[in-house]
Amino acid sequence: MTVVVGHLPRPDGHGALDLGLRFARARGEPMLVVTVVPRQWSTPSPARVDAEFGEYARRVGVEAAASAGAYLAAAGVDVPVSYRAVPGRSVASTLVEVVQEAGGTVLVVGGSADAPPGRIGVGTTAQKLLHAAPVGVALAPRERSPGRSPGSPPGGRADSTADSTVDGTVDSTVDRTAGFGRLTVAFSDSESSVRTVAAAAELAARLGVALRVASFGVRNPTMYPPEVGLHAEDSVLDSWADQAVEAQRRLVSGGIVGAGVPRVIGTGTSWDEAVAAVDWRGDELLVVGSSDSGPLARVFLGSRASKLIRAAPVPVLVLPHPSSRS
């Protein structure tokens, strides 16, 4: 049982290491830091290019391990950590192979460097992993300056069926390598989503942290023609929110979560607004389930989940299809 971290040796590539350390501490498991280095072609070259290329790949791996080790040492690493440089032409497929070989329980990767600070950008590698990984994929937000929290778009609405402080920001004073304090699971009132909530409840119990259920609704600005007016759109969104409250209550009556588990609803005219309409803690993890349309025994990200991930101000764990979980 190992937390596998895909490490990209770049100046802003520490987010995955931080998040991997949090998972390793929370789960009580060792951490394997993997850097995928270029692989040579199978056809040998008559020149010395092969040897030079091999030496280059070796140096990349050594330098990546050294930089990751130095960073984790400075962060106060207190879990067993090993480092591997694995040759491969596809970063995503190589990481999947390593996860399978190492018995990985979760695969942690960083987001795209194009994302705003504090948010998750789903780049090419992450996108492939979110459609192929056999275990949960954890995505780290892009690093931001210390003491800075992501902006919260105005205009969002938050409804809560349990105590909650709504401010749409993240407490940036929390140690982001010290495990997790709360798991929030996204719920959309489908059979698959109910199973995701159940899996998140089991994970929260295993980690010994609090659980929260959250549903998000977005009002489409073009839902109705202008002559109908925005009041019709507000009415539809209000009706959806009422239905979401009832669906969340059924999680309690059905024994999926306890009556004391907070249940919140965030709505807005965009995913950013809807997500910012509920509070987020600095030690929080958002749990999202796979789409029913994906292949079994794999992570498969639907369009709604993809939008939710990009709006999330905290790390996200995408679970594989419920049928594949032990």
Which one-letter DSSP state was computed for residue 321? P
Residue finishing a domain among 108, 129, 144: 144
Q: Is 149 helix (H, G, I), strand (E, B) or coil?
A: coil
Comparing CA positions, the residue from 95, 67, 89 lying closest to residue 6 is 95
Length of the chain, in residues: 326
Confidence at residue 44, expressed as pLDDT on a 0 to 100 scale: 59
- My answer on whether 185 and 323 are in the same domain is yes
Cα–Cα distance, 274 to 280 (Å, whole number): 12
- My answer on whether 18 and 114 are in the same domain is yes
Task: Report residue 97 as tokens.
Answer: 């192979």
Q: pTM here?
A: 0.83
- My answer on whether 1 and 136 are in the same domain is yes
Confidence at residue 132, expressed as pLDDT on a 0 to 100 scale: 80
Task: Report residue 96 as tokens.
Answer: 């999947």
- My answer on whether 153 and 236 are in the same domain is yes
Comparing CA positions, the residue from 171, 112, 173 lying closest to residue 140 is 112
Kind plus residue range of the DSSP H or E element containing 316 = strand 316-318
- My answer on whether 26 and 156 are in the same domain is no
Give the count of beta carbons closer than 10 Å to the beta carbon of residue 109: 27
Residues of the chain with pLDDT under 70: 40-50, 144-177, 220-234, 291-302, 322-326
Range of the domain at 11: 1-144
Region for residue 278 given its phi and psi (left: phi exceeds 0; alpha: psi -120 to 50; beta: otherwise) = beta
Cα–Cα distance, 111 to 318 (Å, whole number): 13
- The CATH code of the domain that includes 175 is 3.40.50.620
- My answer on whether 106 and 193 are in the same domain is no
- My answer on whether 86 and 235 are in the same domain is no
- My answer on whether 71 and 188 are in the same domain is no
Q: What is the DSSP string of 103-134?
A: TEEEEEEE--TTSPTTS----HHHHHHTTT-S
Give the count of beta carbons closer than 10 Å to the beta carbon of residue 114: 9
Confidence at residue 42, expressed as pLDDT on a 0 to 100 scale: 57
Confidence at residue 8, expressed as pLDDT on a 0 to 100 scale: 85
- My answer on whether 126 and 5 are in the same domain is yes
Which residues, in sequence order, are CB contacts of 31 under 8 Å at separation 6+? 2, 3, 4, 5, 20, 21, 23, 24, 79, 80, 81, 82
Confidence at residue 150, expressed as pLDDT on a 0 to 100 scale: 37
Confidence at residue 140, expressed as pLDDT on a 0 to 100 scale: 93
Confidence at residue 316, expressed as pLDDT on a 0 to 100 scale: 96
Cα–Cα distance, 203 to 185 (Å, whole number): 11
- My answer on whether 140 and 186 are in the same domain is no
- My answer on whether 73 and 95 are in the same domain is yes
Confidence at residue 80, expressed as pLDDT on a 0 to 100 scale: 95
- My answer on whether 78 and 13 are in the same domain is yes
